[in-house]
Amino acid sequence: MLTKPNDIFTIFHALSDPRQKAKVEHRLDEMIFMALCGAVCGIDTWTDLEEFVRVKIEWFRKYLSLENGVPSHDTFGRVFALLDTDEFHECLQRWVESLAVCLRDQGVHIDGKVLRRSFDTANDTKALTMVSAWASNAGLCLGQVAVDADSNEITAVPKLLKLLDISGAIVTLDAMHCQKETARAIRQKDADYILTVKGNQPELKQFIEGLFERHAEKGFRDSRVRTYKTRDKGHGREEFRAYTVAPAPAALRKQGWVDARTVGMVYRSRTVKGKETSEVVYFISSLEPQVRRLAKQLRNHWTVENQLHWSLDVTFSEDASRIRKGASPEIAAGFRRLALSLIKQNTTRKASQRAKRLIASWDETFLEEILSKK
């Protein structure tokens, strides 16, 4: 469904404007629309955004009033630094929900990313960490929240889950987030979980490890134990994986691991230039012990790195961004993730993400196509 490009910024109409009404010269929703267009077209600073809008002012006037001309870069920076980030993420969430993407049996992969140059030494502010939920099949960032300065990613995930509509999805998280509360929150959203188990849950890890040792002693002859093996070659390396799953004992559910139905083990070996490395990783899941289904989602977890984080760094230069004041780093990160989702959703032209950003900056018709896809 195609809509007018300016329809996308109507989702921000409910966003509170932190400025005194008497001093407002530029509408907040119009500034957000400009910033989003800039994010799509490769604009990485507020100074460049001001120049970008000036160059394309006639096109922007098709959709915006611009009663007092183009905001200065100082205005962009000052206003975005004052925005309520919770409200901002709720607005982004409304846009995602408007797409009505079906997530049933689809992977939603949650992971954090540090914005390495967002620290502000003058104000003793550490680099910002954003936790994002990536729907790999849809090529869509479903939501994101920032980690509180005095906390860590573990506390951010429940906040993110509250924002998301993930009914029917399969949520994967790394070992840091192997928490009973997280598993419970996912199940309360009518979704399933796959949680990697490592040393931060020593009793759980020991329990699963002992279970598979006993299965190994019996030659994995238990009919309920299933194994699936894969071998991949490419880019000068060879990777072998053996996935083994078994029904989760009732004791795990009694210990608070809500709806735990499967425990699993993954043996991974990698050979690069004749040198082999290997590791064994364990996991717990609310899914039934269907080994191929679980293996697929475990492999797809890394798409949050390959498709989202890599794109933000390489295509959007996120790690190089020096936007630092107030809420600005988080707001700019939100624009980048929305822009990336819009670009990935676009199917009108076959080109790389970088090429699409360049073409959108040159070709206003293509920019409209990216913005209007719904």
**pLDDT tens across 26-76, in order?**
999 999 999 999 999 999 899 999 999 999 999 999 999 999 999 999 999
Average pLDDT over residues 222-239: 88
Which residues pair with residue 38 across a beta bridge?
none
Average pLDDT rounded to a whole number, residues 347-374: 90
Instruction: Spell out the long-range contacts of 137-142 with Cβ–Cβ below 8 A and sequence spacing 24 or more.
Output: 137/106, 137/107, 138/101, 138/103, 138/106, 139/307, 139/341, 139/344, 139/345, 140/96, 140/99, 140/101, 140/341, 140/344, 140/345, 141/96, 141/308, 141/337, 141/338, 141/340, 141/341, 142/96, 142/108, 142/166
The single residue listed with the structure tokens 């794109």 is: 311
What's the rounded mean pLDDT across residues 226-244? 89
Q: Is the pLDDT of residue 351 over 70?
A: yes
Mean pLDDT, to the nearest integer, of 334-346? 92
pLDDT for residue 120 = 65
- 187/8: higher pLDDT: 187
Calculate mean pLDDT across residues 74-81.
95
Task: Enter the pTM of the model.
Answer: 0.89
Q: What is the pLDDT of residue 117?
A: 73
pLDDT band with cut points at 50, 70 and 90 for residue 1: very low
- DSSP H or E run through 238: strand 237-247
Tell me the pLDDT tens digit for each residue of 249-274.
999 999 999 999 999 999 999 888 88
Q: Does the pLDDT at position 217 exceed 70?
A: yes
- How far is residue 115's CA from residue 160's CA, in Å, rounded to a whole number? 18
Does the structure show a pLDDT above 80 at 118?
no
pLDDT of amino acid 115:
86
What is the structure's pLDDT at 123? Answer: 66
**Which residue has better confidence, 11 or 27?**
27
119's tokens: 């620290």
Candidate from 150-159, 239-248, 338-347 with smallest mean pLDDT: 150-159
Average per-residue pLDDT for the chain: 90
pLDDT at 234: 77
CA distance 75 to 68: 12
Q: Which of 64-73, 119-128, 239-248 has the lowest mean pLDDT?
A: 119-128
- 116 or 164: which leads in pLDDT: 164
Q: What distance lies between CA 255 and its chain's CA centroid?
A: 30
Taking 70 as the threshold, does the pLDDT of residue 7 lie above it?
Answer: no
